[in-house]
Amino acid sequence: MSNPTSPKTKIPQLTDYHHLINIDTRWKDNDLYGHVNNVVYYSYFDTIINRYLIEHANLDIHTGSTIGLMVSSQCNYYTSVAFPDKLVGAFAVNKIGNSSVEYDVAIFKEKHVTASARGTMTHVFVDRNTRKPTPISGILRDALTKALKN
């Protein structure tokens, strides 16, 4: 885990994000060390991102002509979380390109203002059938633009 007291480490704050969702930890999220396993955070991040896209950009994950493929991801961990913690997932957009978008996602313990973990993930939007990049436009671009960090 990162040293949260290091002067070089800026730990994200809840107010850094535009969109929040509640996340319940599950018993199976814990590993043998008694905390949520690092790979589970990526599942949380996927859920946060896709909920935003479905609810705010009307992304049709089942039959839509455009889909997002994850091409990059990373995560920094600041404090442990464990079942039965209640969590808050946070979402913002760092940058939007022609066919790609970089997300900023974080996990907070409920009622905490400092992140337990923060990740960045990059989607490239492609045609479902050809898998060739497709421009981000319309309601998708509008929804992503609304979530841009200032």
| Among 120, 51, 62, 121, residue whose Cα is nearest residue 88 | 51
Q: What's the pLDDT at 18?
A: 85
Q: Which residue has the higher pLDDT, 2 or 19?
A: 19
Q: How many residues does the chain have?
A: 150
Is residue 3 over pLDDT 70? no
- pLDDT tens digits, 20-50: 999 999 999 999 999 999 999 999 999 999 9
Contact by Cβ (8 Å): 50, 61? yes
Average pLDDT over residues 69-80: 97
Is residue 85 over pLDDT 70? yes
Structural domains in the chain plus CATH codes = 14-146 (3.10.129.10)
- pTM value is 0.91
The single residue listed with the structure tokens 């079942």 is 83
- pLDDT tens digits, 105-148: 999 999 999 999 999 999 999 999 999 999 999 999 999 999 99
Q: What's the mean per-residue pLDDT of the chain?
A: 94
Q: What's the pLDDT at 8?
A: 62
Q: What's the pLDDT at 131?
A: 97
Is residue 9 over pLDDT 80? no
Taking the C-alpha atoms of residue 49 and residue 70, their distance in angstroms, rounded to an integer, is 11
